[in-house]
């Protein structure tokens, strides 16, 4: 077992991410899936925002592998959905969105550079990484339009083989689980909308994100910083009050495609 991982469990120590994988948006981004009704993203603006995203991850201490754009998959900049990376193994997903299924082929090759233990979610199971929230060695899995029970069951089986575990959370209103909830370590959960009353999350200290700022519920903890989207003052105040150092990023173009901060990277420890 990975030494730092066992330390996490026995001493309740949070350990830091060392790496991230991202993919630059391609011009085909404008054809990405969306239910947002906010218009088409501006490709050049998206590229600039993505570049800053990478710089911020680097400023948080991560080594970032930047993949070239893949024009054949308009949503492929949202790399989070193609894999679930744990300290002990990587799981290649099987996206529920038909147009995104092929993204996993190249992602698997990239992940092979870092992991030897690689598992896969197989049809008819579907699973997207945006539906998977890691809390220590437990993974909450959203049952959504993209992730079905069979996909979630497969993931739980895999996690158990490696001494971890998972459980399912049903969602009705948002795209992915992490559209509405973010674990910020230290038992703190940023939470919005339908997840405020989820029995699964009763044990956490809740940082309640107001409905008017629901997009900001997709924020990410990166090595004691919390990255939040720019333009959400109440969220900024609440997370600052919880003791975190905040980094704000303009996410306007990715928001037009229902994409948030977590979706743009796979963050891990290799």
The two tokens of residue 249 are: 């990023």
Say how far apart CA 216 and CA 184 lie, in whole Å: 13
Q: First vs last Cα of the chain: how many Å apart?
A: 13
**Which residue is closest to ligand CIR by CB?**
130
Catalytic residue among 50, 60, 176, 219: 176
Distance in Å, CB of 41 to ligand CIR, minimum: 10
Is 225 labeled as catalytic in the residue annotation?
A: no
Say how far apart CA 60 and CA 56 lie, in whole Å: 6
Element at 103 (helix H, strand E):
helix 103-111
Is 60 labeled as catalytic in the residue annotation?
A: no
Closer by beta carbon to ligand CIR, 5 or else 77: 77
Distances 259 to 78, 145, 219 between C-alpha atoms, Å: 7, 15, 11
Closer by beta carbon to ligand CIR, 5 or else 168: 168
Which stretch in 6-14, 151-159, 183-191, 254-262 sits in contact with ligand CIR by CB under 6 A?
Answer: 254-262
Say how far apart CA 32 and CA 148 lie, in whole Å: 22
Distance in Å, CB of 175 to ligand CIR, minimum: 6
Say how far apart CA 237 and CA 240 lie, in whole Å: 5
Among 258, 261, 267, 268, binds ligand CIR (CB under 6 A): 258
Say how far apart CA 11 and CA 184 lie, in whole Å: 18
Closer by beta carbon to ligand CIR, 175 or else 227: 175
Q: Is 103 in the site for ligand CIR (CB under 6 A)?
A: no
Distance in Å, CB of 239 to ligand CIR, minimum: 19
Q: What does the longest C-alpha to C-alpha distance in the chain come to?
A: 48
Closer by beta carbon to ligand CIR, 186 or else 198: 198
Let me know: does 4 contact 87? Beta carbons within 8 Å: yes
Closest to 121 (Cα-Cα) out of 145, 90, 164, 162: 90
- Per CB under 6 A, which of residues 170..189 are in contact with ligand CIR? 175-176, 179
- Per CB under 6 A, which of residues 40..99 are in contact with ligand CIR? 75, 78, 80-81, 97
- Per CB under 6 A, which of residues 129..158 are in contact with ligand CIR? 130
The count of residues in the chain is 270
Binding residues for ligand CIR, total number by CB under 6 A: 19
> Which single residue is written with the structure tokens 């919880």?
242
Q: Is 257 in the site for ligand CIR (CB under 6 A)?
A: yes
Residues in contact with ligand CIR by CB under 6 A are 32-34, 75, 78, 80-81, 97, 100, 130, 175-176, 179, 257-260, 262-263
Catalytically active residues, by annotation: 176, 263
């Amino acid at each position: 077992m990975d030494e730092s991982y066992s330390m996490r469990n026995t001493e309740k120590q949070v350990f830091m991410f060392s790496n991230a994988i991202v993919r630059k948006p391609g011009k085909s981004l404008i054809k990405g899936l969306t239910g947002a009704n906010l218009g088409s993203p501006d490709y050049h603006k998206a590229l600039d925002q993505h570049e800053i995203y990478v710089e911020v991850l680097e400023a948080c201490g991560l080594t970032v592998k930047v993949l070239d754009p893949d024009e054949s998959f308009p949503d492929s900049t949202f790399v989070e959905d193609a894999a679930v990376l744990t300290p002990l193994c990587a799981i290649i997903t099987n996206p529920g969105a038909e147009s995104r299924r092929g993204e996993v082929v190249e992602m698997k090759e990239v992940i092979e550079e870092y992991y030897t233990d690689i598992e896969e979610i197989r049809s008819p199971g579907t699973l997207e990484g945006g539906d998977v929230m890691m809390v220590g060695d437990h993974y909450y899995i959203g049952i959504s339009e993209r992730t079905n029970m069979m996909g979630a069951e497969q993931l739980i089986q895999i996690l158990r083989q490696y001494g971890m575990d998972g459980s399912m959370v049903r969602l009705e209103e948002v795209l992915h689980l992490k559209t509405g909830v973010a674990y910020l370590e230290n038992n703190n959960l940023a939470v919005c909308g339908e997840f405020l009353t989820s029995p699964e999350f009763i044990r956490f200290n809740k940082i309640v994100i107001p409905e008017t700022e629901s997009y900001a519920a997709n924020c990410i903890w990166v090595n004691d910083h919390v990255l939040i989207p720019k333009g959400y003052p109440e969220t900024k105040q609440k997370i600052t009050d919880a003791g975190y150092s905040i980094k704000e990023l303009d996410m306007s173009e990715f928001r037009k495609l229902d994409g948030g901060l977590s979706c743009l990277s796979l963050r891990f420890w290799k």
